[in-house]
Amino acid sequence: MTMRREITDPQAFGRVAVVMGGWSAERAVSLDSGAAVHAGLVARGVAAECVDADRQRLLRLADEGFDRVWLALHGRGGEDGVAQAAFELQGLPYTGSGVLASALSMDKVRCKAIWAARGVPTPVYRQVGVDADPQALLETLGLPLFVKPSREGSSIGMSRVDRSEQLLPAIRAAAQFDDAVIVERLVDGPEYTAAIIDEQCLPLIHIETPREFYDYEAKYAADNTLYHCPSGLDHERELELQRLCKHAFDIVGGRGWGRLDFMLDRDGQPWFLEVNTVPGMTSHSLVPMAAKAAGMDFAELVWRILAGTVVEEQGS
């Protein structure tokens, strides 16, 4: 069996590639995340180097002399199992979830199907294409709705639909990013996020935005998005929701670190939306915010995530 080692010497990590950038629609955010991660690691004495990834270079990292990877590559190519498979082929340890969990989490349709099969509450949805019948969807799901690409993050291509005439344009907008589109029943209630580091669920964050929903602008640019941590929930309720978040993360095979987003309806029922296996690490990002509330500064956070890549064999 394998167990995590307690790391105190930065030399134990060897030469670390902070893989960032890439070719997805989230490239700009990934570059910001990678730069922040790199600075945090260097501050702790780690021999870390920024790597702006392309498809070819992902397969050359071991040949370049890197010993492990801190993966800050968001979106397709970074969160969908592609980069993870490249590292596995080279025998390079890397942060975060493996190939299967990454692919399942990135694909919202399949993630939701697995959750539903295992009793994790997730909003009712349909997968559609550009030839969808809007009237049939409205009869099945009602209004309001969210429409989103199945395999994108950061709310890219996502729309809220409050009127029937908005539905088809929203589907077409999402289809510009993915041929698989989710039309999902909107949950009317507050939004929360849960960061997970190792086996620990960090303090929940309650998100409030004056915008129509927590979109790309609210996540990365707006200064009027409010983040409440402590969340305002009572202690026992927060513990219960943290356990549910960890359970939902484990079901898809998540490991190392990640973030889950969910909403509470008017009756207090949680509804899980998605798993992020490579969450943002920018100045507006939620995992560093939750870590700070747990008494962990940014440099300690990125160190702990990297330490998860160092394991030792234990005799039976």
Active-site option among 26, 32, 80, 238: 26
Helix, strand or coil, per DSSP, at residue 114: helix
Active-site option among 125, 192, 214, 220: 220
Neighbours of 315 (CB within 10 A): 4
The CA-atom distances, in angstroms, between 281 and each of 16, 33, 220, 263, 305 are 17, 4, 11, 22, 12
Q: Is 224 a catalytic residue?
A: no
Helix, strand or coil, per DSSP, at residue 100: helix
Tokens of 273: 């939306």
Q: Is 276 a catalytic residue?
A: yes
Nearest residue to 215 via CA among 121, 276, 148, 279: 148
**Cβ-proximal residues to 226 (8 Å cutoff; 6+ apart), any chain:** 207, 208, 209
For residue 49, the cross-strand partners are: 17
Helix, strand or coil, per DSSP, at residue 97: coil
- Residue carrying structure tokens 């190939």: 99
How far is 84 from 33, CA to CA, in rounded Å? Answer: 18
CB 225 within 8 A of CB 219: yes
Active-site option among 33, 154, 155, 231: 154
How far is 83 from 87, CA to CA, in rounded Å? Answer: 6
Q: Tell me the HSE value of 225 on the side-chain side, using a 13 A CA sphere.
A: 21
Active-site option among 184, 280, 285, 308: 280
Active-site option among 97, 102, 159, 276: 276
Q: Is 26 a catalytic residue?
A: yes
Active-site option among 94, 259, 285, 308: 259
Tokens of 213: 């929903």
DSSP state of 211: S
Q: Is 280 a catalytic residue?
A: yes
Tokens of 129: 């294409």
Active-site option among 105, 261, 285, 308: 261
Mind telling me the catalytic residues?
A: 26, 154, 220, 259, 261, 274, 276, 280
